[in-house]
Amino acid sequence: MFGKIRELAEDPKVLLCVLIDEVESLTHSRSASSHGSEPSDAIRVVNAVLTHLDLLKTNCVGMSGRSLRKLPLRVHTSILQPEEIVSFEEFVKALALAAELVKKEKLTFNSSGSGDVPS
């Protein structure tokens, strides 16, 4: 499964969203494993899933997860009008524009010698 996800993530023309249902089951399994109450197979599965999710971080170049989560809000506050109805393609283009704006702001902010990066 993660092989296919990585393959899709490497294509710059693909918008990839990984949705995980029952994520609380993963965290429960991980905490239970630290107390020794979870079978070793379950521990290996949880660790494998979390490891593969961590590997996907390399495809969010130049942006943190926090910045990515805020992109849709950025689109609606500075690129599209809140009441404007747009197609999926138009929204994705607006997301790409918002991402470029955030990256430029980050570069400008970093080159000014300031501490924290805006999100």
Structure tokens at 116: 């924290």
Q: What is the pTM of this model?
A: 0.53
Mean pLDDT of the chain: 77
Q: What is the pLDDT of residues 45-82, one digit of tens each?
A: 777 877 887 777 776 766 777 777 888 888 988 899 87
More confident of the two residues 23 and 18: 18
Structure tokens at 38: 């979870």
36: helix, strand or coil: coil
pLDDT at 94 over 70: yes
Residue type (1 letter), 25: S
* pLDDT of the residue at 114: 55
pLDDT at 92 over 60: yes
